[in-house]
Chains A and B, each alone.
Chain A
Amino acid sequence: MASIMGAAQTLASFEIDLSKATNGIDVPVSISLAELKISSTTLFSLAEVIDNKKVSVPFR
């Protein structure tokens, strides 16, 4: 995974708390962006913040 360079504008921040044991299994997550009112032409990306670094993660 690549770090995201530069200072891209943050459109939203959120946290996901995996309170139950995952035992090493990936967890599919879905979040509604309807409330953000992002233009359909806006290019955006998703990053996980790890140790103050933004790491690009796949999303759709």
Chain B
Amino acid sequence: MIRQSEGKDKKHSYQLLKSAPGKSGNITTEDKDGALTIIAGNRNLLRYYYKTVYPPAGIDTNYKRSAFIHPLWAPHGQELTRIQPTDHYHHYGIWNPWTHTLFENDTVDFWNIKGRKGTVRFAKFNSITNGPVYAEFEALHEHVVFKNDGSEKVALNELQTVRVYHPAEKSDYYIVDITSKMSCASQSPLLIVAYRYGGFGWRATEFWDKNNSEMLTSEGKTRDNTDGTKARWCIVQGALPGNDSGGVVMMSYPANYNHPEPLRIWDKNANGGRGDVFANFAPTKDKDWLLEPGKTYILKYRLVVFNGRFDAARAESAWQYFAEPVAAK
């Protein structure tokens, strides 16, 4: 990780030395109560639920789910995600199911799980890594089809890697990379049919509404004219508790399907005019995607999670180094 500060040289010289590595603090994971939490120093940054989380008592248990991120914390500790809001119990922080699909001649919806046609669930961890530069886990997600005869079948295996880079001490931002490698779990293909939402979604903090949050995309679109447009990145930010502010820059990798990716963004009239915040890179918003057996399909996203305000210049810089990593000479 090349640390940055204003006025620093563009050229950085390094030497690999035959000596014991210097001591530096690690970014670590804590496995507790069915969730893995990534922690830097005394700051919680991100929690991933591998246990199945049920909806509140009295709500249809079809809404239960595992394999999602919540909370994602701002560097100053505010929660930026929300799960099981009363308006959409199937919203789970940061999660990525497909909505309108065709599998073995049945229409399957992995997003709207109340209908019990499909769901996505945690199967196992392949690896969990701690260290001075990043903490990371790779989890196997099964995209499960509930068949009409009562049986179930895994349509899609997804290896999801979540890497959180160690923020500098007192830094007001940190970087998260989320990579999904998808492959058909059987000899049956999965057709993801164009639909207005689906894929990498973020249901944001309930603290935000139409009066205290905003959006800006790489193409200069703002909240009320973003939905349905395509973007390389999207800043979502607003006021936060403690007389603070912050948000996330969501970035799409150039090799992603249908990049620059279509966005599904709730405008200011969302949820009866309250203006709750939901943001979604939806690569199949305007285009089908056929996933064929024997092939692997990769989607990469980077999040810059911050306190304070982010502007277009900073988001563009961050995206440039995500899209085209630097090479050493």
Contact = CB atoms under 8 A, between A and B. Distances in A.
B192 to A, nearest CB: 30
B317 A23 contact: yes
Nearest to B314: A23
Interface residues of B, number: 46
A25 B6 CA distance: 10
A28 B328 CA distance: 12
A14 to B, nearest CB: 4
Contacts, number: 161
Contact of B326 (A1, A21, A27): A27
Interface in A1-60: 1-2, 4, 6, 8-31, 33, 36, 42-49, 54, 56-60
Contact of B13 (A18, A36, A42, A49): A49
Contacts of A29: 1-2, 325-326, 328
Interface of A: 1-2, 4, 6, 8-31, 33, 36, 42-49, 54, 56-60
Contacts of B134: 28, 60
The SS class assigned to the A binding surface is: loop
A42 B20 CA distance: 9
A26 B2 contact: yes
B19 A8 contact: yes
